[in-house]
Chains A and B, each alone.
Chain A
Amino acid sequence: MTSTSTAPSFDVGSLRSQFPILGTTVHGRPLVYLDNAATTQKPVAVLESLDDYYRTQNANIHRGVHHLSEVATFEYEKARGKVKNFIGAADVREVVFTRGTTDGINLAAHSYGRKFLTEGDEVIISAMEHHSNIVPWQLVCDERGARLRVIPMNDGGELLMDEFAAMLSARTKLISVVHVSNSLGTVNPVNEIVALAHRNGTPVLLDGAQAVAHMPVNVQELDCDLYAFSGHKMFGPTGIGILYGKKELLERMQPYQGGGDMIRSVTFEKTTFNDLPYRFEAGTPPIAAAIGLGAAVDFIGRIGMSAVRRHEEDLLRYATERLSAVPGLRIIGTAREKAAVVSFVLDHAHPHDIGTILDREGIAVRTGHHCTQPVMQRFDIPATARASFSLYNTREDVDALVKGLAKVREIFA
């Protein structure tokens, strides 16, 4: 009996049973995991694919002629194909394996930024970026004498699109914005951003870390030029991520790291680089993690992203309603278009204390600045507590959170 089903095919109970960790206890309480924006839990299918790989397929890829190397290479490339279909890319060569979102953005900053930015050029980011979409651009802009500009936002956490449009000029060389904000939950109008940017002749990178596991994402429909995300936030292992890039753009970008696999031939005089996507994959990659990510994509595919989105929209509505009714609680991030991320502050109780008290109730939330210090400065708060939901969360999890907050209020009355 659950009040959570939002679609006949969406059976949250059976989904939960596929995540062993959700059956564990913390401080003697059943785990209520509400820190999905930090990382998601892993289903059995992913765990088994990792185990299987190491038990029966382990070898290095693209190098050996022996059987296991062929199997490992085949599985690794199969995972790439799964990701290609998952994000609707036109070509597998547009799917670069990285270590994660941070690595993907750094790749772009290096391979695009260092090649194309010159003195006086501008890169535009937004006021709600994760540090991983700020610092790499600061570094490359400093180096190249370029300028970093920031799209401001309103008090609800929505980007001011007029201001963005006014910023665009011949100097604008790249837009890099977050698809879904990890600290505010805002779903940005990325179609509009891409359209405006392209009218200006400027490519767009989207940070999709918080989007891919929560809503359908199709890079061709978005028409973005680069799209970065992390495997571990979409039920896959840590240490693997994706940078999607349009082929024409990737081909113009310079290599990132140098090493094995990314080359075609090396002499001490001259090295020629490998084709896409290998040109950007130097060294032995996290093979098992890539295969595990493929298993995660299969897992999501069996559920369907539209069903996930509907379920999480219900959770967001319910959580917003219940949390808004908690006396002294203020939600930070009230955009019209939101993902199921609810950041909040509570009168008289610091987020850090909220986190500790909830933890003793078995409830995992994130507290702090969420690697978005400029967002905290914008709202003039030191930190927030954040509940972030995933497909396996339920209305009961929201109820547990609200009950836990009553305990916080009791202590900090």
Chain B
Amino acid sequence: MSELNELYQQLILEHNKSPRNFRVLDRCTHDADGYNPLCGDHYHVWVNVENGVIMDIGFQGNGCAISKSSASMMTAAVKGKSVAEVKALFDTFHAVIMTKIGDEVPDATIEALGSLGALAGVREFPARIKCASLAWHTLVAALNGAGSSISTENNG
């Protein structure tokens, strides 16, 4: 059970139950749709960027506890950060959850993630990594304005 407890820890369950920023933004500069066709997880992310800083962010949609809590924690983490900081944070987060089972993740790295570090346990569950990264890929797609919709099946 220990890996399961690690995955479904209180913080994650709590975000799943009461997701933060679970709302549509009336005003937004960027938004995107994120979809995992394999499991049906589907979110929409709206962001309001002013002078390169994320002033507000909201999301809606549904999916598993991992995808929803990750989306919720992401919105809490990125508010007030610059777009560059957010992309760097995602890189760190992505590197942690992609770390091979058995390889060490430095404590400092986990710490740098703040509460997002709670999702580090997902790396023990390779089938679930896409759940944890879905909202992030959606946010990055919105910020890049690359297109209004992404799918996990062409965004690792």
Q: Give the CA-CA distance A369 to B63 in the complex, in Å.
A: 12
Q: Who on chain B is nearest to A411 by CB?
A: B8
Which chain B residues lie closer than 8 Å to A403 at the CB level?
A: none
- B39 & A367 in contact (Cβ 8 Å cutoff): yes
A412→B68 CA distance, assembly (Å)? 14
Stretch touching chain A among B21-29, B98-106, B124-132, B147-155: B124-132
- Given A353-B65, A356-B128, A382-B63, the answer on whether A411 and B13 have CB atoms closer than 8 Å is yes
What separation, in Å, do the CA atoms of A367 and B38 have in the docked complex? 10
Assess whether B62 is interfacial by the CB under 8 Å rule.
Answer: yes
B142 interface residue (CB < 8 Å to A):
no
The answer to whether B40 and A360 have CB atoms under 8 Å apart is no
Contacts of B39 in A (CB 8 A): 352, 367-368, 383
Q: Convert B31-47 into 0s and 1s, putting 1 for each residue whose CB lies closer than 8 angstroms to a CB of A.
A: 00000001111100000
Give the interface size bracket for B toward A. 20 to 34
Q: Which residues of B contact A412 (CB under 8 A)?
A: 8, 13, 65
Determine the chain A residues whose CB is within 8 A of the CB of B62 once the complex forms.
382
Contact B40 A411 (CB under 8 A): no
Considering the complex, which residues of chain B in the window 74-93 have a beta carbon less than 8 Å from any beta carbon of chain A? none
User: Residue on A with the closest CB to B61?
Assistant: A382
Task: Given A367-B39, A382-B40, answer yes or no on A356-B127 (Cβ-Cβ < 8 Å).
Answer: yes
CB atoms of B64 and A350 under 8 A apart? yes
Q: Does A406 contact B (CB under 8 A)?
A: no
Complex Cα gap A346–B69 (Å): 18
Q: Are B65 and A350 in contact (CB under 8 A)?
A: yes
Q: Does A357 lie within 8 Å of B40, measured CB to CB? A: no
Cβ of A368 and Cβ of B4 under 8 Å apart?
Answer: no
Expressed in whole angstroms, the Cα–Cα distance for A31 and B66 within the complex equals 25
A352/B13 in contact, CB under 8 A:
no
CB B91 to nearest CB in A, in angstroms, measures 25
Per-residue CB contact flags for chain A residues 335-367 toward chain B (1 = under 8 Å, else 0) read: 000000000000011111100110010000001
CB distance from B102 to the nearest CB of A (A): 15
Residues of B within 8 A of A349 (CB): 65
Q: How far is the CA of A350 from the CA of B3 in the complex (A)?
A: 19
Closest B residue to A373 using CB positions:
B40
Nearest Cβ on chain A to B13's Cβ, whole angstroms: 7
Interface members, chain A 357-413 (any B CB < 8 Å): 357, 360, 367-369, 373, 376, 382-383, 407, 411-412
- Are A376 and B66 in touch, CB under 8 angstroms? no
B7 part of interface (Cβ distance < 8 Å): yes
The residues in A between 168 and 196 inclusive whose CB is less than 8 angstroms from any CB of B are none
Q: What's the least CB distance linking B134 to chain A, in Å?
A: 11
Choice from B1, B7, B40 contacting A356 with Cβ under 8 Å: B7
A411 touches B4 (CB 8 A): yes
A367 to B127, CA, bound (A): 12
What residues on A are CB-neighbors of B66 within 8 Å? Answer: 352-353
B8 touches A368 (CB 8 A): no
Give the Cβ gap from A141 to chain B, nearest Cβ, in Å: 23
Q: Which residues of A contact B128 (CB under 8 A)?
A: 352, 356
Among A353, A373, A376, A411, point to the contact of B64 (Cβ < 8 A): A353
Chain A proximity of B151: nearest CB distance (Å): 14
**How far apart sit A374 and B68, CA to CA, in the bound complex (Å)?**
23
Bound state CA distance, A369 and B36, in angstroms? 12
Q: Which of A350, A356, A382 contacts B42 (CB 8 A)?
A: A382
- Bound together, the chains give a CA A350 to CA B36 distance in angstroms of 14
A142-176 Cβ-contact flags toward B at 8 Å (1 or 0): 00000000000000000000000000000000000
Mask, B117-148, CB within 8 Å of A = 1, is 00000000101100100000000000000000
Tell me which of A350, A351, A357, A373 has the highest count of chain B C-beta atoms within 10 A of its own C-beta. A350
**Cα(A352)–Cα(B110), bound, Å:** 26
Q: Which residues of A contact B125 (CB under 8 A)?
A: 356
| Residue contacts A-B, CB under 8 angstroms, 6 given | A352-B66, A356-B7, A356-B128, A367-B39, A368-B38, A383-B40
6 interchain residue pairs of minimum CB distance = A352-B64, A350-B64, A382-B40, A353-B65, A383-B40, A411-B8
Further pairs besides A352-B41, A411-B4, A412-B8: 8, Cβ < 8 Å:
A348-B17, A352-B64, A353-B66, A368-B38, A368-B39, A369-B40, A383-B39, A407-B1
